[in-house]
Structure 1
Amino acid sequence: MTYLYAITPKTSRFHFYTSLNIPFVQFRDKINGVPEILPVAEATSSKIIINDSLEDAQRLNAWGVHLGQKDLERYPKEVLSKRSIKLGISTHDFQEIDRAMEFNPDYIAFGPIYNTISKEMVQPPKGTKLLKEVVKAVPIPVIAIGGITRDNSRQVADTGVYGIASIGAVGNMEPEEIIEWMELLKENHL
């Protein structure tokens, strides 16, 4: 079983995703910050994840916080070890995975798997072969990210990843398409 992990910077899309009960919904607005989404977090089965801010995630009673490698510089290990919520960390190679594991995360995101237009490509695509190695080597859930669409998600799911993160692909889908993709991922019938 592989779960869908939707990422959005738009409040309206965030509400749309949570209304569909997408298993994981990450709110990532690097410009305007986090709106008051607490009522949504309490009214959905989606696990709400706030990007970049442990303080906002805890204040909003989110399921978790997702931090990038640079965000780790802001938080001492002692602070993150005493967190009351789940922690996810972005990684791009085994060196970053080793660093992330020092913070005792609940999951890591790894990518980009393919070329993506949703975010400036700082790292080259990693591909599914390396992703499979990461999944085997890491003792916690791995979320694959970067250029993953419904069409190529079978190859990604076959690596054994826990989840598939999507910004652009899921952002351009209609509700029925998202629901169908979630079901196919759950049953691995892609």
Structure 2
Amino acid sequence: MPQHPDRFYPIVDTVAWVQRLARAGVRTVQLRAKDLDRAEAAALVGAALAATAGTATELIVNDHWEAAIDAGARHVHLGQEDLAVADVPAIRKAGLTLGLSTHDEAELEAALAARPDYVALGPIYPTTLKVMRFGPQGLDRIGQWKRQVGPMPLVAIGGITLERAPGVFAAGADSIAVVSDVTQNPDPDARVRDWLAFTQSEPR
């Protein structure tokens, strides 16, 4: 059974990006779009699911868990604020997998109490994409988190480039979530091919 999420885990904010990555053979893509009401989010998720139809791509919906259920998605990812108000039993009843973001020990404890399918840790390196109240976690924290979560997949996120990926995997990450290294790259398609070639050949 393929790993979920895949070792290369891009995060994008439009259906066009989802479609582009699905055509490139990316196996896991997160759709992260903010400031949408439930109907808008459900329509966006539905369009993204249509864009991945017939491909090997699994779509993970960020935060909009109700819209994900409405649209028939299979995977959802929540930040800590959304976890605090989400109906986790409803997510489970709908058959969705659940990924959760963590940044410190308290958040990891809250995440593990929800029995997620994977946990994300970040930011590993400085990032300019989001204003973070947490400083860079560093590679040592990856190993610490991995020892605590055990066999559960651990996703590393934040400022990670392809050049930094070997060290991140060596530190204990099972998957790397990538934003700017793809979406802000001058040749995104070539960068995706390089990521796929690396993650599909890297020893597990």
| TM norm. shorter chain > 0.5 | yes
Indicate conservation of the 8 Å contact 2:119/2:153, yes or no: yes
Segments of structure 2 that go 5 or more residues without pairing to the other structure are: none
**Structure whose residues are more often helix by fraction:** 2
Distance 1:87 1:126 in 2: 23
Which of 20, 26, 35 pairs up with 1:22?
26
2:188 paired residue number? 174
Letter of the 1:155 partner, please give it: G
Alignment of 1:105-184 (within 5 A): 105-139=116-150, 140-171=152-183, 172=185, 173-184=187-198
Which of 54, 58, 67 pairs up with 1:56?
67
Shift of 1:77: 4.2
- What secondary structure, in the 3-state scheme, does the structure 2 residue paired with 1:37 have? helix
Indicate conservation of the 8 Å contact 2:18/2:52, yes or no: no
Q: Across the two proteins, how many residue pairs are aligned to each other?
A: 189
Shift of 1:188: 2.1
- What secondary structure, in the 3-state scheme, does the structure 2 residue paired with 1:154 have? helix
Percent of aligned pairs sharing the same letter:
31
Note the alpha carbon deviations across 1:31-90, whole angstroms, 9 max, x for none: 345312231232221110001111222223323000000001222443344341110000
Indicate conservation of the 8 Å contact 1:47/1:62, yes or no: no
Distance 1:174 1:77 in 2: 35
Distance 2:93 2:161 in 1: 36
1:73 paired residue number? 84
Note the alpha carbon deviations across 1:92-128, whole angstroms, 9 max, x for none: 0122111011111100111100001111122100000
Indicate conservation of the 8 Å contact 2:74/2:96, yes or no: yes
CA RMSD of aligned residues (A): 1.9
Segments of structure 1 that go 5 or more residues without pairing to the other structure are: none
1:38 paired residue number? 49
| TM-score normalised per structure 1 | 0.91
Distance 2:109 2:200 in 1: 29
